Chain A
Amino acid sequence: MKRLSLAFLLMVAGTAAQAQQATAPAVTSVEIPPLTSPDTGTRGNEMLQIGWDATQLIASDLKQTAELMPLKIKREDYVSYPEVTAPSFGKWRPLGAKLLLTGFVQSRSDGRIAIGCYVYDVSKGTELARKGFVLPKSDWRRAAHKCSALAYTAVTGTPGMFDTRIAYVAENGVGDGKVRRIAFMDSDGANHKFLTSGNSMVMKPRLSPNASQLAYVSFDSGRPAIKLLDVGAGQERPLVSVDAINFAPRFSPDGSQIAFSMMLGPNSDIYVVGSGGGTPRRLTTSPAVDTDPSFSPDGRTIVFESDRSGSQQLYVMNADGSGERRISFGPGAYAAPEWSPDGQWIAFTSRNQYGRRIGIMKPDGTEETFLTNGPADDSPAWAANSREIMFARLVQGGRSALYRINVSGGDPQKVSIPQDGSDPDWSGAMD
């Protein structure tokens, strides 16, 4: 994580030549005195410890962003409880930070804790945002991520992606003996767990917007078929009851529907079905391979790939299957599109003489920009803030790793996971 921040620093400090998009974002510095506590005695010490852990997590969250930079945090800098809501700005101004983030951790009689966070503009001496949470002690990380998001949103106006989940396929071994399991974790790598046993091959996990449900492709019947897993309860069921190969699931932005590919004839077409069940509705009818559907954030449009022109290209259609139109026209093939959560961009995998690279384009096909140099990148997945993309990169020996890259430029950073990984998916911000 430290390496990440350094890379961003270098990127920002250096020229914009590295950045493939013209503008490097301006960086806002943030002063974060350790979260304090109104409690005293042993309980007070315990709360201060949680406060310090949360402070470190907030700083680590903000370091990962291109837009915010926390100043060095020091444990002895903690402020009194009244200063949380009434900071003495004169004390902070000489330190040069634009933002001040204060907070407290308080124990409650029901055994839970309350965590509050406040964001101030130091030079103007005004409060920009505040938020409070009551939650079990063990969930302090979530509150800390929310505090990070509070500061991030105050600066950028976009939701933070700190309290989000990532699902991917964990790979162990190489070749035909490779064991694949669906893995699930917080976006900072915490709470990592495996959701499938590894007895059969799995592919393409896709999280519902709030990460409560997960659709993935299972081969345990011998043929690829989508299963729908309730992440909390651990129960799962086939997405459709039809005996046909089906794959490439993606939730609609409100989580109520799943678009996917199914082969009821000799080729794959795009269907949509309620995430609670129902009869699949067919959206495409071309005699070509149509796959990888992804909804626009308003749920009214779907981008997908089709090889109907002879090579894979990106198409956009209305959510009822009408109005299909091609949007990609560059050399080679375009595949694996995913619509950004803010609706502004479509990420894709390009295949041509330069190999497989990740790129983005506007939903009308303009402003095509390549973010990676390949040569074996695939499966782009947007962060909730639409500023970052996670993708899978095939490295030496057929092994696969996950990387993330900022859409405004810079080098891809490897994601730290216990094993090899492919097919990443990133949830929306959790409420």
Chain B
Amino acid sequence: MRKTVLFLTLALAAGSVQAQVLPFLSKRGPQQPVVQGIDALRAEFATLSGGTTVYYGPGNAVLTPPARTVLTAQAAWIRRHPEVVVRIEGYGDTGDTRDHALAIGAKRAEEVRDYLVLMGVPMAQVSTTSWGGERSGLGRAVTILVR
């Protein structure tokens, strides 16, 4: 069941072109409500958790008390929504060297995942990645994406 929902979300998030490529999806029922569904879910997640991004001190992957507060609220919400999967994306410090930025971003994402799992989120519901020093702007952060 979760797989189906995930498929729909991915296909719809990618837009109508994707839906044309996979025409069988359109036979599976109304698309429109699902689109609103994922957007509404994301909005609710952000509002009830106090944000989708947590920040770190320079060069470390240690969760700050404010970050723990946000993550605790996120974990509670994710546990109530077993139909979503969550992607945890880590970022390095701006100005860091390339590979260390990638590594520290990944370590930060792992810290967030471990914390969410500690708070009762099933491992299968969360995945991690790192963008290192790429996708500038965020820096020293982890973003938690509902998808």
B-binding residues in A (CB < 8 A):
175-176, 201, 203-204, 217, 219, 222-224, 245, 247-248, 261, 263, 266-268, 289, 291-292, 305, 307, 311-312, 335-336, 349, 351, 356, 376, 378-379, 398, 422-423
B128 touching A223, Cβ below 8 Å: yes
Q: For B106, list chain A residues within 8 Å (CB).
A: 224, 245, 263, 268
B81 at the binding interface (Cβ < 8 Å): no
B97 contacts A336, C-beta separation under 8 Å: yes
Query: In the complex, which residues of chain B have a beta carbon less than 8 angstroms from the beta carbon of A219?
Result: 129
Report how many residues on chain B are interfacial, defined by Cβ distance under 8 Å: 26
Residues of B in contact with A (beta carbons under 8 Å apart): 59, 87, 95-100, 102-104, 106-107, 110-111, 114, 127-132, 134-137
Contacts of B137 in A (CB 8 A): 176
A224: chain B residues within 8 A (beta carbon): 102, 106, 129-130, 132
Cβ of B102: which chain A residues have Cβ within 8 Å of it? 203, 217, 224, 247-248, 291
Given A224-B129, A268-B107, A307-B59, are A291 and B99 neighbors across the interface (CB < 8 Å)? yes
Are B111 and A291 in touch, CB under 8 angstroms? no
Residues of A within 8 A of B107 (CB): 263, 266-268, 289
Complex Cα gap A266–B104 (Å): 10
Identify 25 residue pairs between A and B in the complex whose beta-carbon atoms are under 8 Å apart, listed by A's number: A175-B136, A176-B136, A201-B131, A203-B134, A204-B99, A224-B129, A245-B106, A247-B102, A247-B103, A263-B110, A266-B111, A267-B103, A267-B107, A289-B100, A289-B104, A292-B99, A305-B99, A307-B104, A335-B97, A351-B97, A356-B95, A356-B97, A378-B98, A398-B136, A422-B98
Residue pair B95, A245 in contact (C-beta under 8 Å)? no
Interchain CA distance A410-B114 in the complex, whole Å: 49
Residues of A near B100 (CB, < 8 A) are 289, 291-292, 305, 307, 312, 335-336
Interchain CA distance A291-B92 in the complex, whole Å: 14
Known interface pairs A219-B129, A291-B103, A349-B97; 20 further A-B residue pairs with C-beta atoms within 8 A, sorted by A's residue number: A176-B136, A201-B134, A203-B102, A203-B132, A222-B129, A223-B127, A223-B129, A267-B103, A268-B107, A289-B100, A289-B103, A289-B107, A305-B99, A305-B100, A312-B97, A335-B100, A336-B97, A351-B97, A378-B97, A398-B136
